[in-house]
Structure 1
Amino acid sequence: MGIPISGFILDSGDSSNSGNSGSKHSHKLYITSWNGRAVPHIHQFEGVTSLDVGHNHRYVGLTFLAATGVQHVHSYYAETSIDDGHAHIIQGTTGPAIPLPNGGHIHYFEGYTTVNGSTPHTHMYRGNTGNEIVE
Structure 2
Amino acid sequence: MDDDDRTCCGHCGKPKQTHVHEFLGSTKLAELEEDPHNHRFAGISGEAIPMGNSHVHDIITRTDFYEDHLHAICVRSCPAICVGNGKHVHFVAGMTTVDEDHAHEFVFATLIENPIGD
TM band (smaller chain): 0.7 to 0.9
Q: Which amino acid aligns with 1:65?
A: E
2:102 matched to which residue of 1?
A: 121
Q: 1:71 aligns with which of 46, 50, 54?
A: 54
One-letter amino acid of the structure 2 residue matched with residue 90 of structure 1? I
CA contact (8 A) 2:49 2:57 kept: yes
Residues matched between the structures, number = 102
For residue 56 of structure 1, the aligned residue among 14, 38, 42 is 38
Structure 2: state its 5+ residue gaps: 10-14
What does 1:87-98 correspond to in 2, within 5 Å? 87-98=70-81
Report what 1:81 is aligned to.
Answer: 64
Deviation at 1:122, TM superposition (A): 0.2
Give structure 1 stretches of 5+ with no counterpart. Answer: 1-5, 7-31
Deviation, structure 1 residue 84? 2.7
- Distance change (3 Å), C-alpha of 1:91 and 1:35: closer
**What percentage of residue pairs aligned between the two structures are identical?**
33
CA distance in 2, matches of 1:105, 1:41: 11
Question: Secondary structure of the residue that 1:72 maps to in structure 2?
Answer: strand
Report the AA paired with residue 129 of structure 1.
Answer: T
Q: TM-score, normalised by structure 1?
A: 0.67
* Secondary structure in structure 2 of the residue aligned to 1:131: coil
Post-superposition shift, 1:101? 1.7
Bigger-Rg structure (1/2): 1
- Larger fraction in strand: 1
Aligned-residue Cα RMSD (Å) equals: 2.5
Q: What stretches of structure 1 move > 4 A for 4+ residues in a row?
A: 32-39
Aligned-partner Cα distance in 1 for 2:17–2:75: 23
- Indicate conservation of the 8 Å contact 1:55/1:84, yes or no: no
Which residue pairs with 2:90 in the alignment?
A: 107
